[in-house]
Amino acid sequence: MLEFLVHLLVSAGLLFVVGRIVNGVAVESGKAAILGALVLGIANAIVRPIVVVLTLPITIITIGLFLFVVNAAMFGLAAAVVPGFKVKGPVPALVGSLLLSLMNWGIAIIFGV
């Protein structure tokens, strides 16, 4: 349980940073960042696998690049649900999801999680 909470708080912090870096992504408060990270985690755990299976043919045709679009869609979905977390279009969603993934990966590498 503690590991989950730490991961949630780290992801929320990184989401807040993404909101400051990416033009078109706004995270208005810490509460919005925490809720955004939670909803994004739930969307990635439940909705994303279904979408990945449904879009498998296009993912194969694009040699996996369509998964970036799926990640951006999950990022946008979380922003649509969480008040105080806004994404203004598909390009900021794509850049924001990519940056958040890279930062989460970097944190995992640094701390060996």
Under 8 Å between Cβ of 49 and 67: no
Task: Give the CB-side neighbour count of residue 30, counting CA atoms within 13 A.
Answer: 2
pTM over 0.75? The answer is yes
Residue-level pLDDT at 1: 85
Block residue for tokens 């977390």 = 85
Residue-level pLDDT at 50: 97
- Average pLDDT of the segment spanning 30-46: 95
- Average pLDDT of the segment spanning 24-32: 95
What phi and psi, each to the nearest 5 degrees, are found at residue 86? -125, 140
Q: Please state, rounded to an integer, the average pLDDT across all residues of the chain.
A: 95
Whether the pLDDT of residue 14 is over 90: the answer is yes
